[in-house]
Amino acid sequence: MRVLGVDPGLTRCGVGVVEGVPGRPLTMLGVGVVRTPADAEPGDRLVAVEQGIEQWLDEHRPEFVAVERVFSQHNVRTVMGTAQASAVAMLCAARRGIPVALHTPSEVKAAVTGTGRADKAQVGAMVTRLLRLAAPPRPADAADALALAICHIWRAPAQNRLQQAVAQNRLQQAVAQHAAHATKGRTT
């Protein structure tokens, strides 16, 4: 499985591609940051993020895109830029028919370090170790993007099985309701 992880941001959007399957060593295929000038207009910055992500999609051809789920932050301006960059990443993937998964920061930290309260240094250290790198990727946005990709590789099979079980359960409930309704219609 090849996954492009995206740590969304308007100034620095971390991107990283990891390939592998659960239980086997993972391979980093690329890591970087799409940067935009802080003084540029928001629309121009979003176009730059889009162009950067499109280049990564063209070069690495991922099967999945894992994006950090945006959640409430104290700084509204920061969360807006993060949400906008996240939407651009999802749009780029959707345009190509690539499935997108959203993972919360605590979910990613727990998957990579074993605790959802890990700090940036711990995440960077574990990404370095898991991908057998000489040094932690810099800046932290790049390491976070790789952590997102790792999280998705490790969690996607279990999440898919859970989604299939939920879908199967819903189907069984619908069939039972239909049968009950059909039976009720015959007895009245």
Annotated catalytic residues are: 7, 68, 141
Q: Are 102 and 69 in contact (CB under 8 A)?
A: yes
Supply the DSSP symbol for 22.
T
C-alpha distances in Å from residue 185, one per residue of 18, 59, 157, 177, 179: 55, 59, 42, 12, 10
* Rounded-to-integer distance, Cα 151 and Cα 13, Å: 18
Residue 31 buriedness (CB in 10 A; 0-12 / 13-18 / 19+): buried
Structure tokens at 101: 């998964």
* Rounded-to-integer distance, Cα 170 and Cα 147, Å: 33
Q: Are 135 and 100 in contact (CB under 8 A)?
A: no
